[in-house]
Structure 1
Amino acid sequence: MRIVLLGVAVLLLTGCGAKIEPTDPGTRVTVARCGEQVSYTTPHRVVAYEAGSADKLFALGLTDHVLGYVMPPANPPVEESPWVAEYAKVRFLGDDLLNRELVVDARADLVVAGWNSGFSDQRGITPEILDRLGIQSFLHAESCFNYPGHPERHPPFEALYTDLTRLGEIFGVPDRAARVVADLRARVDAVTARAPQGDPVPVFLYDSGTDQPFTAGNQVPPNEIISFAGGRNIFADLDQRWTQVGWEAVVRARPEVIIILDYGDQPAAEKIDFLRTSPTTATLPAVVNNNFYILNYNEGISGPRNIDGLEGFATYLRTLPR
């Protein structure tokens, strides 16, 4: 993705570095933020960047705490979201990249975003800068892999569960968060129980790029969408999030399925047409056999819709001849 996008409740909570305290509006709770213990008060004017952030809040029933969302053009329309009714209850704050002026003008008391995709040194909006302005911030645990010093590392789906658990602590709804996490885990377990047996199908995720493809390493949700469904990400050995590779590596791996990441400014149909017409990729097994699966952008970035993406891709894999 271009960077411009119940187990037991007690175990979940302690495993995520949260310290449980009373959670009335005036009470502080200490929760980990990319390796740093941060003291939070209950927010009431949250700004969410991209659908992954907003979806996590809506899934926890926190709409009343959300002021609004920032949705860059690459993001698919919110009308496609399972939480479309919740989006309608909050403000659309802009379609640009996250920036400090927007957050300050909104009088936000919490900003939820990922590192690089939302928070950015280059754009002058980081957790440290917001701390100095008295604005709280929440970083997606999955994105901590790219945070300076690599302070936290989580498998992508565990990172999603970690975020939901931490947000549950910050907003004083830990039991609700535990129920949401338990439901997501159960759905994943149901998929893995039905995964095809035998050698996993080699799968290439194509995000974008013609000279060099942009794809998913092992630190982003599509890697586990592929593996939990019964496939094998051909770049699972890359200890990266979203990264560039060479077409030669794709050709050598001979993927039998290609996942197309679909988002606003680069429709899936255009990417498929490129793969079919490029001499480099036209003879790949996946292209010859027309084995393309379209993954929605918001199923590929960290958020509750990762499980929707997993279920859809797993259903697709089970239809392929073995």
Structure 2
Amino acid sequence: MTATARFRTARRSRFAALALTLPLLTACGASVEAGEQNRKVTVNRCGEPVEYTTPSRSVVYEAGSADKMFALGLTDRVHGYLMPPANPPVEESPWAAEYAKVQFLGDDLLNREAVVEAKADLVVAGWNSGFSDQRGITPAILDTLGVQSFMHTESCFNYPGHPEKVAPFDALYADLERLGQIFDVPDRARDLVDGYRDRAERVRAQAPGGDPVPVFLYDSGTDQPTTAGNQVPPNDIIRFAGGRNIFDTLDGRWNKVGWESVVQAQPEVIVILDYGDKPAQEKIDFLKNSPVTAGLPAVAGNRFFVLDYNEGISGPRNLDGLEKFGEYLRTLGD
């Protein structure tokens, strides 16, 4: 047995023991005031109405989840965060000071053991990017453990049984408003969403005239590239800024496509998604050196725009990515 296998076996054993003690952990971990314990509100979760009590010990997965909570001023309701290696360092976040106030729970994928050890009363994550049938951590499973869950609306497109198809930026706004309801800060959520809508509209108003520039989002992959369909934030970032995602008719989230489709579309700009284990420069070098892509207009013209990972997944930093990309497209016309 490898060291990794021994580690996973030990983790499973610890989880089995922890699961037996969950009622005790939940009871001693709660710090919600008496009035809030009795407060209940029904909020949609991927098209399904779910009743929530006010959480006080949330666990958030990835920066998109944490950022939504911090932007809403809910740091005191976050116990800790899980941050897998793909995420850029939290010290680079606009909310670095807020991350420092809560516990770092590990760089593993979302898992039940971490949730139980944290005595969580709410888990915030996306479907497939956090919650997963394969890894045995789903809203239904957490329900049996007495732990509430909140899923990013943008990720609901792939959620079985309760599909909810919402444009990516509208999904971000829905999340903030729903979290505002759950935590009883609806006015704060409304003000935040109004501000984000205004920022997006300002970029749209300044978009270059004429036909939208064809844009290819390159996430990863050499044999086959992974790119953005129309159900993830980069599609709206590209569209609002005045470009056109060459795969905007792809009704999906993150998808593998063929290089021949990319070549056929002749993108004028390539957006590179930059994250920890797949840095942007490596992808740019690959595109420049591959005989398949070296002749693309974007590559030949060195028109690459680097989008930070946390500007490309559902979260408040989508607006930062939009503003930067909008400015980039405007400079192309100068």
TM-score (norm: length of structure 2): 0.89
Q: Does 1:26 align with 2:47?
A: no
Q: Which of 45, 59, 65 is the equivalent residue of 1:47? A: 59
How many Å separate the matches in 2 of 1:89 and 1:274? 40
The one-character-per-residue Cα deviations of 1:182-228 (angstroms, maximum 9, x if unpaired) are 00000001100100010000000000000000000000000000000
Q: Distance in 1 between matches of 2:323 and 2:136?
A: 38
**Equivalent residue number for residue 237 of structure 2:** 225
The residue aligned with 2:208 is: 196
Aligned-pair CA distance for 1:151 = 1.9
Aligned residues: 300
Gaps of 5+ in 1: 1-22
What is the rounded CA distance, in whole Å, between the counterparts of 1:145 and 1:246 in structure 2?
A: 22
C-alpha deviation, 1:99, in angstroms: 0.4
Query: C-alpha distance in 2, partners of 1:297/1:26?
Result: 39
Match of 1:295?
A: 307
State the alpha-carbon separation in 1 of the partners of residues 119 and 92 from structure 2.
28
Query: 2: distance between equivalents of 1:150 and 1:24?
Result: 28
Contact in 2 for aligned 1:46/1:109 (Cα 8 Å): yes
The aligned counterpart of 1:12 is none
Larger of the two Rg values belongs to structure: 2
Summarize deviations over 1:232-280 as a string: whole Å, max 9, x none. Answer: 0000000010000000000000000000000000110000000000000
SS at match of 2:234: helix
CA distance in 2, matches of 1:55, 1:208: 24
- Which residue pairs with 2:101 in the alignment? 89
Q: 1:40 to 1:191 in 2, by over 3 A?
A: same
Q: Which structure dedicates a bigger proportion of its chain to helix?
A: 2
The question of 1:151 aligning with 2:163 is answered: yes
Picking from 240, 259, 276, the partner of 1:247 is 259
The one-letter amino acid of 1:92's match is F
Aligned pair partner of 2:250 in 233, 238, 258: 238
Q: Matches of residues 277-296 of structure 1 in structure 2 within 5 Å?
A: 277-296=289-308
Question: Does residue 179 in structure 1 map to residue 196 in structure 2?
Answer: no
Residue 49 of structure 2 corresponds to 37
User: Partner amino acid for 1:96?
Assistant: D
Rounded to whole Å, the distance in 1 between the matches of 2:78 and 2:230 is 32
CA distance in 2, matches of 1:134, 1:207: 37
Q: Distance in 2 between matches of 1:96 and 1:113?
A: 14
Moved more, 32-41 or 205-214: 32-41
Q: Report 1 or 2 for greater relative contact order, CA contacts < 8 Å, sequence distance ≥ 6.
A: 1
SS in structure 1 at match of 2:52: strand
In 2, Cα distance between equivalents of 1:305 and 1:254? 29
% identical equivalent positions? 74
**Which of 131, 138, 142 is matched with 1:126 structurally?**
138
Deviations 1:119-144 (A, max 9, x none): 00000000000001000000000000
Greater Cα shift, 269-278 or 142-151 = 142-151
Question: Is the CA contact (8 Å cut-off) linking 1:24 and 1:172 kept in structure 2?
Answer: no
Instruction: Output the CA distance in 2 between the equivalents of 1:271 and 1:317.
Output: 21
2:300 counterpart letter in structure 1: V
Distance 1:67 1:106 in 2: 7
Runs of at least 4 residues of structure 1 off by over 2 A?
A: 23-26
Aligned to 2:83: 71
| C-alpha contact 2:48 2:162 (8 A) present in aligned 1 | no
The CA deviation at 1:149 is 3.3
- 3-state DSSP of counterpart to 1:199: coil
- Residue equivalent to 2:284: 272
User: How far is the alpha carbon of 1:180 from its aligned partner?
Assistant: 0.3
Report if aligned partners of 2:230, 2:250 keep a CA contact under 8 Å in 1.
yes
Q: Is the partner of 1:181 in helix, strand or coil?
A: helix
1:260 aligns with 2:268: no
**CA deviation digits over 1:52-72, x for unaligned, max 9?**
000000000000000010000
Q: Provide the rounded CA distance (Å) in 2 between the counterparts of 1:288 and 1:249.
A: 18
Structure 1 residue 35 displacement after superposition: 1.4
Residue 267 of structure 2 aligns to a residue whose secondary structure is: coil
Which blocks of at least 5 consecutive residues in structure 2 are unaligned? 1-34
Residue in structure 2 matched with residue 319 of structure 1 by the alignment: 331
Amino acid at match of 1:297: Y
SS at match of 2:110: coil
TM-score by length of structure 1 reads: 0.92
